[in-house]
């Protein structure tokens, strides 16, 4: 059964780069990932990076940057937009900050549901 999963975008005070938490992220085929931008001042834009020799359907990815402030979210469902089979690794990068990178592994193996998201930062 498809699950909703979360990736937090966090930037500690005094740091120049944000992190994607968690990364790597493990999801099942057809799970939906919600990115939450907790950075208080910078917008971020997770964008796909094709693996060498691989193809990637970008149509299901985030179409606009996620504004700063912790109240802005964007979602991607893996398995509907992406045409690759399960057990595939997806690399992504912040289109606004190329040194901010992460990975998502889509697997057919069962993954326990995540705890319900709340409005607090992690």
Neighbours of 119 (CB within 10 A): 7
Closest by Cα among 106, 14, 117, 108 to 70:
117
pTM summary value: 0.79
- pLDDT for position 56: 58
Q: Which two tokens stand for residue 98?
A: 């190329």
Q: In this structure, which topology does domain 4-10+18-107 adopt according to CATH?
A: Immunoglobulin-like (2.60.40)
Q: Which two tokens stand for residue 49?
A: 């990076």
- Tell me the pLDDT tens digit for each residue of 72-81: 899 888 764 4
- pLDDT for position 105: 86
- pLDDT for position 70: 86
- pLDDT for position 53: 60
Q: How is the chain split into domains, by residue range?
A: 4-10+18-107
Q: Which residues of the chain have pLDDT under 50?
A: 80-83, 119-122
Q: Which residue has the tokens 């950075």?
A: 39
- pLDDT for position 55: 55
Q: Report yes or no: 17 and 42 within 8 Å, Cβ to Cβ.
A: no
Q: Please state, for a pLDDT cut of 90, what percent of the chain lies above it.
A: 35
Q: Which two tokens stand for residue 94?
A: 């912040």
């Amino acid at each position: 059964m498809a699950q909703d999963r979360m990736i937090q975008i966090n930037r500690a005070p005094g740091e120049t780069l944000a992190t994607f938490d968690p990364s790597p992220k493990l999801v099942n085929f057809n799970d939906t990932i919600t990115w939450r931008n907790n950075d208080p001042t910078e917008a971020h834009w997770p964008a796909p990076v094709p693996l060498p020799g691989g193809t990637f359907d970008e149509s299901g990815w985030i179409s606009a940057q996620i504004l700063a402030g912790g109240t802005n979210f964007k979602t991607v469902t893996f398995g509907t937009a992406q045409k690759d089979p399960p057990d595939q690794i997806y690399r992504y990068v912040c289109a606004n900050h190329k040194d901010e990178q992460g990975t998502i592994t889509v697997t057919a193996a069962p993954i326990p549901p995540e705890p319900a998201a709340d409005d607090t930062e992690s």
